[in-house]
Amino acid sequence: MDRTPVNGLVVSGLAQVALGALAGFPYAVATYKPGQLSTRRVRAPHRIRQLHLDLIIMGGLVTATGAAMPRIPRVVAVPLAVGCWTNALAFAPPAITPSIEDSPAFRALVTASFLTTSTSWVAVAAIALRRWRAARSHGKGDGSRRGR
């Protein structure tokens, strides 16, 4: 058994991609046989597409970030993972009950998720910039200055 450590963001991101891939099945039904979803109480099938794509996109971004940026502080990594999950999953309730988007509670949750995710991405970018600058100042550049 391979015991290579895996970054928690990579695990979270790959789980999101996997769920997004599975969401491709109801998305295909929504596209090719939309009547079947209405019998399953899906009122806004276009939200299934958004759920499918957002899970895959956010999951891919989190996976790449976890692989490219090991040791992101937990105070940044956890809100990033939670925010990416909640942002994507926020498309599921309106697929069943479109009117939920008018609910102050739903809007508050979506706003909190968006703020958490956005703030976490800014923090990740700042960490990357700080690490890049530190490497450059210690002569461990990224190789882009070769030949100068």
26 pLDDT more than 80: yes
Residue with tokens 């990224």: 142
pLDDT digits (tens, 9 = 90+) for 99-137: 999 999 999 999 999 999 999 999 999 999 999 999 999
pLDDT digits (tens, 9 = 90+) for 85-108: 999 999 999 999 999 999 999 999
Q: What pTM, to 2 d.p., does this model score?
A: 0.88
- H helices of 6-103, in order, are 8-22, 24-32, 34-38, 46-68, 74-89, 92-96
How far apart, in whole angstroms, are the C-alpha atoms of residue 126 and residue 52? Answer: 29
Q: Look up residue 19 and give its two tokens.
A: 């769920």
Phi, psi of 23 (to 5 degrees): -65, -10
